[in-house]
Structure 1
């Protein structure tokens, strides 16, 4: 491909800033069409973002001859269907995370990608963000020696739209749409980056429970996991704490020190060794997916490789299935 001409299926909130504008900012890449089931909203998005075409039917966008690559930004429940349709038409696919509702659906997508030879990519953009690349660099440079242990904690208050005065649960807590709850949505990023930085996780187990009864899937999870390298890991996720108890921290314990960082909302990386403490402050860019999208465009043009593929993306789903017992 010379010019990558993108079509978005599901131009909702995630595409407003995180991803959508980036398709026109990456060299040799253009956003030419968007789709949303509500045609008025699709038309509004196209108008505001300067997109030439809009649709209210996914098949119409997938079959548009001006579109040669598809970005699927719908909830996970429809990823496998849309991805397979696009791949069978020979159009590379970039799909939002989590890649699908479970590992089995991820494998179905990867199987079609292998059969057709059409590339499949997943929006695990932490593999390209400077903040996380710095964490990986510190690991690779053995600044804290050999990594012994990983400890991650994500404790958030209930989402307002789900447990306010007039509760209106959103799609993320309906397993038939999302594959699980907030653990499934957010831990996916964590496990994908940990594998990118530390290598494959070979075993994982956990306890997943719903304690507050605000929705069907689990709202608290504890897990342990082991990397093929021998590094051990521990994690806890709770989505029913008050605002003052909110925690988003990860610790890498090494033979010569400790790295503290955040997966979602802080921009500091703290390194503690015998030599002292050093802090790196690395904010996210405006469009957090832009750097990953650029690697996709480069690969499709034969000029590089994207670090987040269907094969790597499926692994996070497999690990979460192990922990929750859904696999």
Structure 2
């Protein structure tokens, strides 16, 4: 069996089932699936029946349930999108693989490399398409950066560095429960949720990472997960990298610099900011807006992949590598 087994007809929509319809599914993702020609959102699942029903009504989805298994095993569901917190990704993903259906999982793939590996192997062994929602690989803003790098606009890349810092939120200070800072769900805290986007993008832009080290601690004691992490790494091509992620600082900063032999590229991973190129030709600043539904290009690329019109840039294999890098920075491996 090859992935061609999963190619769908242009004359028949591919029907998606959605597991988890919280904040990410509200605007970023599920509306993108609904607006993609050839895709249909057949059903949504959420453990809270009232919230599931409300979501389905507001987004014009015909079917809703509180039972994930019912969605996964529904013969009218062709593919499944998992949009739950990371601690249940493996649980649902393995069920989807057993059902033999293509799947897209929200990032990170799982809370650990070992869990991610189990997911990857379950799909790879059956040659079932597995996508992970590292959608920045598909966004025009970051594709512009890749184009500059491919064109050698800053010469040979020497180093990449990222500072992502912010003060604690009101939720952090109040002690209100937040799965993003619960070490059982997300051991790295906001690092798992936010840094995963950047680290994955860096491998897309600069190649895989072969050496990585890091330290992680909890400085504030506001929650159980880590709140201060730093890491350093080297890509397979010799490019070095460094990152600082601290969620208890005075100022909010999101700044990446790629240093080359003949110039510099500066941009933000998460904040709305222009991309900047400095080289011997001058200083170029570009404002490249994201689409209304930020996963739109990512979802379009899923469609193209399943139609056999090119490979999606964020598959299980690349997401597995990102999980390995994150575990190394956190000192898990």
TM-score under structure 2 length normalisation: 0.95
SS in 1 for 2:309: coil
One of 21, 32, 38 as aligned partner of 2:48: 38
Contact 1:267 1:284 in 2 (8 A): no
SS in 1 for 2:264: strand
One of 18, 28, 47 as aligned partner of 2:38: 28
TM-score under structure 1 length normalisation: 0.97
Partner residue, 1:230: 238
Contact 2:210 2:234 in 1 (8 A): yes
1:160-208 alpha-carbon deviations (Å, 9 max, x no partner) = 2221xx3203001112112431111111111110000000010110111
SS in 2 for 1:193: helix
SS in 1 for 2:108: coil
One of 282, 287, 292 as aligned partner of 2:298: 292
Structure 1 residue 194 and structure 2 residue 202: aligned? yes
1:289-316 alpha-carbon deviations (Å, 9 max, x no partner) = 1111111122222232211011111111
Partner residue, 1:314: 320
RMSD: 1.0
Which runs of 5 or more residues in structure 1 are unaligned?
none
Contact 1:76 1:179 in 2 (8 A): no
Contact 2:232 2:242 in 1 (8 A): yes
Contact 1:257 1:272 in 2 (8 A): yes
Counterparts of 1:54-73 in structure 2, within 5 Å, are 54-73=64-83
Counterparts of 1:68-87 in structure 2, within 5 Å, are 68-87=78-97
Structure 1 residue 122 and structure 2 residue 135: aligned? no
Contact 2:154 2:264 in 1 (8 A): yes
- Partner Cα distance (1:303, 1:66) in 2: 24
SS in 2 for 1:32: strand
- Partner Cα distance (2:167, 2:129) in 1: 38
- Partner Cα distance (2:103, 2:169) in 1: 30
In the TM superposition, what is the alpha-carbon distance from 1:273 to its structure 2 partner?
Answer: 1.2
Moved over 2 A (4+): 301-304
One of 170, 173, 178 as aligned partner of 1:170: 178
Structure 1 residue 102 and structure 2 residue 109: aligned? no
Q: Greater shift after overlay, 246-255 or 110-119?
A: 110-119
SS in 2 for 1:116: coil
Partner residue, 1:134: 144
Contact 1:88 1:116 in 2 (8 A): no
1:62-85 alpha-carbon deviations (Å, 9 max, x no partner) = 111111100000000010110110
Query: Residue 303 and residue 276 in structure 1: after superposition, are their counterparts in 2 closer, same or farther (change >3 A)?
Result: closer
- Partner Cα distance (2:279, 2:326) in 1: 32
Contact 1:131 1:267 in 2 (8 A): no
Partner residue, 2:171: 161
- Partner Cα distance (1:219, 1:176) in 2: 14
Partner residue, 2:223: 215
Partner residue, 2:5: none
Partner residue, 2:4: none
Contact 2:166 2:246 in 1 (8 A): yes
Partner residue, 1:278: 284
SS in 2 for 1:259: strand
Which runs of 5 or more residues in structure 2 are unaligned?
1-7
Count of matched residue pairs: 323
In the TM superposition, what is the alpha-carbon distance from 1:107 to its structure 2 partner?
Answer: 0.6
